Amino acid sequence: MKKVKIVINGKTVEGIQDQSVLSLARENGIYIPSLCFSPEVHTSGGSCRVCLVEVHEGKSMRLVTSCNYPVREGIEVKTDTDFVRKIRKGVLELLLCRAPESEKIKELAAKNGITQARFFTDSPDVHLKNCIACSLCTQVCEEVVGVSAISMIKRGREKEPAAPFMKASNTCIGCGACAFACPTGAIEMKDTPETRTIWGKTFEMQKCSVCGTPFIPKDQLEWIVKTTGKDRSFFEKCPTHR
Binding site for ligand SF4 (CB under 6 A): 128, 131-137, 161, 181-184, 186-187
Decide which of ligand FES, ligand SF4, none touches 206; Cβ closer than 5 to 8 Å per partner kind.
none
Q: Which residues bind ligand FES (CB under 6 A)?
A: 34-37, 45-51, 65, 67
Strand partners, 61: 56
The residue (of 104 and 218) whose beta carbon lies closer to ligand FES is 104
198 binds, among ligand FES, ligand SF4, none (CB under 5 to 8 A by kind): none
Residue 4 contacts which entry, ligand FES, ligand SF4, none (Cβ below 5-8 A, type-dependent): none
Q: Which long-range contacts (CB under 8 A, 24 or more apart) does 51-59 make?
A: 51/22, 52/84, 52/87, 52/88, 52/91, 53/21, 53/77, 53/78, 53/79, 53/84, 54/78, 54/79, 54/81, 54/83, 54/84, 55/21
- In whole angstroms, the minimum distance from the beta carbon of 36 to ligand SF4 comes to 7
Give the whole-angstrom CA distance, residue 66 versus residue 49: 9
| 151 vs 195, beta carbon nearer ligand SF4 | 151
The β-bridge partners of 191 are: 196
Residue 162, contacted partner among ligand SF4, ligand FES, none, CB below 5-8 A by kind:
none
Question: To 10 degrees, what angle do helices 82-98 and 103-111 make?
Answer: 150
Q: How do 52-57 and 76-78 pair as beta strands?
A: antiparallel
User: For the range 25-30, what are the long-range contacts, defined as Cβ-Cβ under 8 Å and sequence gap of 24 or more?
Assistant: 25/66, 25/77, 25/79, 30/79
CB of 44 to ligand SF4, least distance (A): 9
* Whole-angstrom distance, CA of residue 160 vs CA of residue 172: 17
Nearer to ligand FES, 45 or 217 (CB): 45
Give min distance, CB of 184 to ligand SF4, in A. 5
- By the 10 Å C-beta count (0-12 exposed, 13-18 middle, 19+ buried), 233 is classed as exposed
CB nearer to ligand FES: give 139 or 169: 139
The option from ligand SF4, ligand FES, none interacting with 200 (CB < 5 to 8 A, set by class) reads none
Three-state SS sequence of 70-111: ECCCCCEEECCCHHHHHHHHHHHHHHHHHCCCCHHHHHHHHH
Q: What is the greatest pairwise CA distance in the chain?
A: 66
Smallest distance from ligand FES to CB 134, Å: 7
- 147 vs 186 by CB, closer to ligand FES: 186
For residue 161, the partner it binds in ligand FES, ligand SF4, none, with Cβ less than 5 to 8 A by kind, is ligand SF4
Q: Which residue of the chain is nearest ligand FES when measured via CB? A: 67
Residue 45 beta carbon to ligand SF4: minimum distance, rounded to whole angstroms: 12
> Which of ligand SF4, ligand FES, none interacts with 221 (beta carbon under 5 to 8 A by kind)?
none
